[in-house]
Amino acid sequence: MALIYFQCTKCKNESRRIFKIVPTYKNWGLCHKCGGKLERKATGQSSQVMETLDNGAMRKSVTRLSSAERLFSERQAADPSKKTTEYV
């Protein structure tokens, strides 16, 4: 599957879409916020870096993503069950 990043020419809003096959569209559609034209944003190769944690006293070493703390905090911030209504 191909993950393609886009940027609006009007409001500079960034978005992404997943395709089964990379299409060769001339027009990628319109921005859902302002209606501006979406352009494909060039990104580099992506990869996930794994790290192994072992302090010598652990029974078994742990292998995890190197950005695990950042991913966890982003997921917690985006969790809709944790959102509360703010009154002004």
71, 50 contact by CB (below 8 A): no
Buried b (16+ CB within 10 A) or exposed e, 27-51: eeeebeeeeeebeeeeeeeeeeeee
Q: Please state the rounded mean pLDDT for residues 8-28.
A: 83
Residue 2 has pLDDT above 80, yes or no: no
Dihedrals φ, ψ of 80, to 5°?
-65, -25
Q: Please state the rounded mean pLDDT for residues 7-11.
A: 90
**pLDDT at residue 49 in the model:** 78
**pLDDT at residue 16 in the model:** 83
Work out the mean pLDDT of the chain and round it to a whole number. Answer: 81
> Contacts from 57-65 at CB under 8 Å and sequence distance 24+?
none
Query: Domain residue spans in the chain?
Result: 2-41, 50-80
Residue 22 has pLDDT above 80, yes or no: no
**pLDDT at residue 27 in the model:** 80
Structure tokens at 88: 């002004």
